[in-house]
Structure 1
Amino acid sequence: MSTVDPRSGARAPLFFLSYSLPPIHWVTGNPAENISRFYKDLSVHVSELVGPVTGVDPGFLDSSIAGGERWSPELLQAAGTCQVFVPLVSSTLLGSDWCGREWDAFARRRIVPRSGASSAHETAIVPVTWSPTNGTPLPRVLRDIQRFSPTAMPDPDIAVHYQRDGVYGLLTMQWENAYRAVVWRLAQRIVAIHRSYLVEPWVPASVDELCNRFTEEPG
């Protein structure tokens, strides 16, 4: 049976980063380093925008996932109490049962506007283009949600490069200024959602309560 602790939201991470790495034998180097840097940079910006809160981390990143490992209580708690869900969209993520279940854990929760000015149809899921998914069928849940797209950039080409190559592409090609601008705008988007909406906590007791949202048939 699932548990809901109304007090847990106050101690929850503000955002949850969902990602999947390719099998290690497919790549050279350490692709996890790019994920780690992105998470740290985003966390710094979010912390700056919301201010310090004692004992609260701005985000959650499960760095222990190596594929096939069991779901930890910490991960279930974070997915069930964070306020913004940020999936890093890639072909690898879309083929991950694990990430599809993380999406399900967050999507089941109710979103409540904090004020009458907030839209009742907002989502607190912010898909970020991590790498191109050309040729990979997109699941319905992703087609139904608009991906993050940075606006008011210092150079309009930045948004074009991000949409075409993703954050991973910006890092790989060492477009440092473009990367920094995208992460800053993303942090602003996360904090804007947090200030406008409350996502009520729902913590599954185990992974068995969750389904892979990426394998749902089109409706």
Structure 2
Amino acid sequence: MPLERESYFFLSYARQDDRDDVFVSRFYEDLVAELDRLGEDCSRQKPFRDVERLALGADWERMLGREVGHCRAMVALCSPAYVHSLYCGKEWAAFQARVEDYRERTDIDVRALIPLVWAPLRGPVPEVISRYQFFEPEMGREYVEQGLMSLMRGDPTAYRRALRLIAKRVQYAAGLFRLPTVKELDLGAVRSPFPAQGVMAPTGRSTGHVRLFVAAGAADALPAGRLRHEYYGRSPLDWTPYHPPVHPTVAHRAQRVILEEEYTSSIEVVDDTLASKLDEAMRENQPSVLLVDPWAAREAPYRAPLSDYDRQNHPVTGVLMPFHPSDDESGDGGLWDDVRQVFRRNWMRRNDPYDRLFRVLVDKEHFDDRLAEMVTVAQSRLMENAVPRRLPSGPPAPPMPGLNVPAQPPPGDRDDPPGRPPSVEDPYDDD
């Protein structure tokens, strides 16, 4: 195979983790830039990322097979969604076979398969993943506890530290070793080592996946009337209503809560296709949660899709509006008058203890519990009409060991110092 046809590395990841391709794209570009800084010119062996190299109309399965069969290293962004992805498992198995083939030929165990903690792995992890070393002490404890995607959002120093070590590992594998290539690798015929993709989760749950949608402002385009920049970042996904945040963003905090409830999740920004996406999620037996910034909800581009949501029936979608007592701007009654106009139909059930899918003025102390309740209620409703998922044929998968990671800090270390924040009253509790 000509040298220019070999990708320097293949980026394997689950699209559910980053549907808008914000963080995967940035990591890919940062890794290529870091390799360039180390003196590696990847221009002749351009790294492979599917959204860049798969043209419209391409035979994507054939092209993925060719790239996995010829790349010089594979970087796997491991997460709960990754281990539930059929094609991530196929990519892993095909590349691992090339590594094992090289070891049999040379008796050299080259570390060309590079798994990374993209989002924290909880619960059972396939043995083919847990046997690999995810962590080097120099990467820092934050990397294992939060994952690279979280570090990108809230801890640039820790992210850069981990990125430099990752680039050195890729450089070592791709620069010094040449794995045997597979001329015509048929991914369709490769069996994933990850068990039971797409199977209904145990204990009566649905697919075990929650879709998160964020409607929030950004630092360079504050919502009308908003003066305080510290609650916003470069994109809506960087919104931090509980400032200063211990968890970098409210979206990340929501994912942590959902992981603790033993579900996977994905994050998207609200747009004009929201209604169709919510319908799609319901057909797939997946509940949804809208994390809404009340300031941003009042105007374009969010007002129309949120009002459209309000007019329709979405029985397995929750709405949660965070609020920090120290945010004096958000105590303005005019703000909530406007929000009530956006959610005319659902506003009547706000904070109803018997209907927990529409929550406003949720403070930091109660965010985790309110979100967990919301997911539980939505899942229960889904199960009433869930579409059954047929188990794959074949023997059951063997028991899987979990991934050992440092213990999580106790709740007191993750939140504000002890002490209950001032109570926040609903300005419309007389309605």
Smaller-chain TM-score bracket = 0.7 to 0.9
Q: Relative to structure 1, is the Cα distance of residues 52 and 104 closer, same or farther in structure 2, using a 3 angstrom cutoff?
A: same
Q: Relative to structure 1, is the Cα distance of residues 48 and 200 closer, same or farther in structure 2, using a 3 angstrom cutoff?
A: farther
The answer to whether the Cα contact below 8 Å between 1:81 and 1:201 also exists between their aligned partners in 2 is: yes
Correspondence for 1:132: 120
The answer to whether the Cα contact below 8 Å between 1:14 and 1:83 also exists between their aligned partners in 2 is: yes
**Alpha-carbon RMSD:** 2.9
Matched, 1:165 2:165: no
The one-letter code sitting in structure 2 at the alignment partner of 1:193 is: A
The answer to whether the Cα contact below 8 Å between 2:117 and 2:147 also exists between their aligned partners in 1 is: yes
The one-letter code sitting in structure 2 at the alignment partner of 1:21 is: R
SS in structure 2 at match of 1:87: strand
SS in structure 2 at match of 1:138: coil
- From 76, 94, 115, the equivalent of 1:87 is 76
Give TM-score scaled by structure 1 length: 0.76
Provide structure 1 residue ranges, at least 5 long, that are not aligned to the other structure.
1-6, 25-29, 152-157
The answer to whether the Cα contact below 8 Å between 1:84 and 1:193 also exists between their aligned partners in 2 is: yes
SS in structure 2 at match of 1:183: helix
- From 117, 132, 137, the equivalent of 1:145 is 132
Q: Relative to structure 1, is the Cα distance of residues 34 and 140 closer, same or farther in structure 2, using a 3 angstrom cutoff?
A: same
* CA distance in 1 between partners of 2:187 and 2:23 (Å): 27
Correspondence for 1:61: 49
- From 67, 74, 81, the equivalent of 1:78 is 67
Matched, 1:104 2:93: yes
* CA distance in 2 between partners of 1:140 and 1:84 (Å): 21
Q: Deviations over 1:179-219 (max 9, x none)?
A: 11211110011101223322111144432221112126469
* CA distance in 1 between partners of 2:77 and 2:169 (Å): 15
Q: Relative to structure 1, is the Cα distance of residues 54 and 97 closer, same or farther in structure 2, using a 3 angstrom cutoff?
A: closer
SS in structure 1 at match of 2:178: strand
Q: Deviations over 1:57-110 (max 9, x none)?
A: 1x2111279xxx963433222111111111101000000001000112211213
Correspondence for 2:170: 190
- Indicate the larger mover: 74-83 or 32-41: 74-83
Count of aligned residue pairs for this structure pair = 193
SS in structure 2 at match of 1:52: coil
Measured after TM superposition, the shift of residue 10 of structure 1 is 5.1
Q: Deviations over 1:111-167 (max 9, x none)?
A: 269xx9xx72333111000011122x100101121114362xxxxxx6110111010
SS in structure 2 at match of 1:86: strand
- Indicate the larger mover: 34-43 or 45-54: 45-54
The answer to whether the Cα contact below 8 Å between 1:90 and 1:133 also exists between their aligned partners in 2 is: yes
The answer to whether the Cα contact below 8 Å between 1:112 and 1:198 also exists between their aligned partners in 2 is: no
Larger radius of gyration: 2
* CA distance in 1 between partners of 2:147 and 2:17 (Å): 20
* CA distance in 2 between partners of 1:70 and 1:13 (Å): 18
Q: Relative to structure 1, is the Cα distance of residues 8 and 149 closer, same or farther in structure 2, using a 3 angstrom cutoff?
A: farther
